[in-house]
Amino acid sequence: MGTIVRTRNLVKNFKGVEVVQNVNMNIQQGEIYGFLGPNGAGKTTVMKMLTNLVRPTSGEIEIFGQPLQGESFEVLRRMGSIIEYPVFYEKLTAVENLDLHCEYMGYYNKQAIRDSLDMVNLTNVHSKSVKDYSLGMKQRLGIARAILTKPEFLILDEPINGLDPLGIKEMRDIFKILSKEHGITILISSHILAEIEQIADTIGVIRGGRLLEEISMDVIRKQSTSYMELTISDSRQAARVLEHSLRISNYKVMDEKHIRIYEIVDAKDLTKRLVQEDVSIEGLSHYQNSLEDHFLQLIQGGESHV
């Protein structure tokens, strides 16, 4: 398992503004790396630097173990990508566009064009020129083009943009297949956390040009906890009940009306006890800390709950 991409102290300045600051990124072979960040965080700029569309102001990039230089282009043969939104030659059809892609990439398997169009479910588009495509269709065609040559490394910038829920699920399945069955390494950026959560192996969180964290999903999952949230009339009184009658210590008082319990408790027992001690219960639910909480915490700089 090698490192497909490594960046060291990657910096990009645009007209005096540092849009990417000291990013140290590591992407392992065969994994799906989820690149998470709000709009304007620098995700697209980093991706453009990985494909040599933009030159870094300073710092190094290594792809497939080789340093990426201004004149490097051979390495691009092993990569496929969608950056920002996919662009095509509007007056040509899907097949003509994909055919051109094959020619420029030096890829000679014409059957692959049919295969990738089928994979992204873009059929019945033989004579339509791309200018008549909907956003969803263009997105699918963009993905088809990126995966066409079965590249070793796939860079996808918000690939599910503009797709309907069914399309999103289809794409999710495709990415999983590409990763698990074809061993393709995928860098995927998104701000739809629920999606990234489902397919990523490693997550890189970027904000304001800085890579805040690079962490494996396994570690996040272990960190996440399930809890029970109580909505009561008086949380202090309820807390007393928890401590003395029920001997529950692993809990947090959120505010006057809410308590979170991080231990495993029998709900019937709990409610009976609380009622006995005159604590009126308005609600009781089970929750799981998700990526969203983790992410929001990170983004808001740890302004977590009391």
- In angstroms, give the least distance from the CB of 46 to another protein: 13
- In angstroms, give the least distance from the CB of 208 to another protein: 19
The rounded distance, in Å, linking the Cα atoms of 113 and 98 is: 7
Q: Does 297 bind another protein (CB under 8 A)?
A: no
- From residue 47, give the alpha-carbon distance in Å to each of 32, 59, 199, 201, 256: 15, 14, 19, 18, 46
* Residue from 81, 93, 161, 185 in contact with another protein (CB under 8 A): 81
DSSP 260-283: EE-S---HHHHHHHHHHTTPPEEE
| 7 versus 52: smaller Cβ distance to another protein | 52
The rounded distance, in Å, linking the Cα atoms of 33 and 201 is: 6
| 73 versus 287: smaller Cβ distance to another protein | 73
| 99 versus 293: smaller Cβ distance to another protein | 99
CB 81 within 8 A of CB 122: no
Residues 107-166 that bind another protein (CB under 8 A): none
* Residue from 91, 222, 268, 286 in contact with another protein (CB under 8 A): 91
Q: Does 103 bind another protein (CB under 8 A)?
A: yes
Q: Does 52 bind another protein (CB under 8 A)?
A: yes
Site residue total, another protein (CB under 8 A): 28
- In angstroms, give the least distance from the CB of 138 to another protein: 13
Q: Which residues pair with 230 in a beta bridge?
A: 259, 284
Strand-strand pairing, 202-207 and 32-36: parallel
CB 12 within 8 A of CB 57: yes
Site of interaction with another protein (CB under 8 A): 14, 48, 51-55, 70-71, 73-77, 79, 81, 83, 87-92, 100, 103-106
